[in-house]
Amino acid sequence: MRTENSGRGLVQRLLQGSLVTQILIGLVAGIALAWFSKSNALAVGLLGELFVSALKAVAPLLVLVLVISSIANHQQGQKTNIRPIVMLYLLSTFFAAVVAVVASHMLPQTLTLKTASTEIVPPSGILEVLHGLLMSMVANPIEALMKANYIGILVWAIGLGFAFRHSSESTRTFLNDASDAVTRLVRIVIRFAPIGIFGLVGSILASTGFDALWEYASLLMLLLGCMLLMALVFNPLLVWWQIRRNPYPLVFTCLRESGVTAFFTRSSAANIPVNMALAKKLGLDEDTYSVSIPIGANISMAGASITITVLTLAAVHTLGIHVDVGTAILLSLVASVCACGASGVAGGSLLLIPVACNMFGIPNEVAMQVVAVGFIIGVLQDSAETALNSSADILFTAAACMAEDRRVEQNA
């Protein structure tokens, strides 16, 4: 009996303890295991795969049910803050491209280009990216759920949400109950984050290490530096513009509780449940965050914008192409559009580099070699990019909600 009670007490402490602290313990344990036993670290990679797969599996259903329920149960006259949030997403993505242009001008990078992979086929231009996005919007809803096509899921969820506004009260109550049920399921999955992070870190360090990164250390440092500048300077400035007070407590909370998980899962989609849970913890308006966070996973792409811009300009400098101010501004716009379309392209931001290279007349063969370089440094680049993208989703949602609360208090 005493053993059974102690076991229950341990489970309760695990469920009620700080998730961030447990994730940090899992992180340290994963590093230690990879250091002392490579074979065991590779074996526990299964835990990481299971965790990421569970998040990816539940995220599409969560987005569909939450968005439908939120719109269907929305009361006439009740305000949401989607418009300012979307504006913050787009401003952050554009500013990230500008930061990358300036940094690449101050610290120009050159590449030793090698043979490119012929297995990956990038879009031929922005029109193809936009075409892919539009086709994703009208995809079959069942297929969209199966393939985690979040653009299609959002479109169907919004449409069904407005349609269900005209349904009976009992139907809207059922949708609300379904939303709560899926949310509880997601919370259970998220509680396994420390174990998942432990497996991910151990297997990644054991299988790849960082030896392959040293050749491109300068390029990688520029990418990470730009992302840190966005996360710690420009995004906080945008938040301050909204809430008019010290933004850093909120910034660090979002980086700690959203960015850390996103860094290791390397999937904005998989991090949607984490951001939803954090939004609930922060006491944000559910009608707002249940829509804004899935939208952010598609268009809040500051990290992708930096990756596209830095690697494109590295190719430009390698080939000795001159870049004037007008061209730099145009590149920032092109990179922003490409970044917002990254979620609709297999391979994400790296596969959109040839689109940006095309405006400089760089041949596709050379552009694909730049993409190959991106895959080499992708262990850290993609992790940092996802952390910046995903943490910004919840950061700007929280900032807009807080700004609205401040305006209501001032007008009261």
**pLDDT tens-digit profile of 39-56?**
888 888 888 888 878 877
Q: What is the DSSP letter of 75?
A: P
Task: Please write the tens of the pLDDT for every residue from 225-250.
Answer: 999 999 999 999 999 999 989 999 99
* pLDDT for residue 198: 87
Count Cβ atoms below 10 Å from residue 165 Cβ, excluding itself: 13
For domain 17-406, is the CATH number 1.10.3860? yes
- Asked whether 56 and 186 are in contact (CB, 8 A), the reply is no
Helical spans, DSSP H, in 165-299: 169-190, 193-207, 217-229, 235-243, 248-254, 260-265, 272-281, 286-299
User: Residue 160: helix, strand or coil by DSSP?
Assistant: helix
> 292 or 355: which carries more pLDDT confidence?
292
- Looking at residues 18-40, what average pLDDT do you find? 81
Residue 277 CB contacts under 8 Å (≥ 6 apart), including other chains: 186, 187, 190
- Asked whether 371 and 120 are in contact (CB, 8 A), the reply is yes
- The percentage of residues in the chain with a pLDDT greater than 70, rounded to a whole number, is 83
- Asked whether 97 and 336 are in contact (CB, 8 A), the reply is yes
Task: Please write the tens of the pLDDT for every residue from 58-117.
Answer: 778 877 887 788 778 766 555 567 889 989 999 999 999 999 999 999 999 887 665 444
| H/E element, 306 | helix 302-318
Q: Model pTM?
A: 0.73
CA distance 392 to 386: 10
* 359 Cα distance to chain centroid: 27
CA distance 44 to 195: 9
pLDDT above 70 (res 128): no
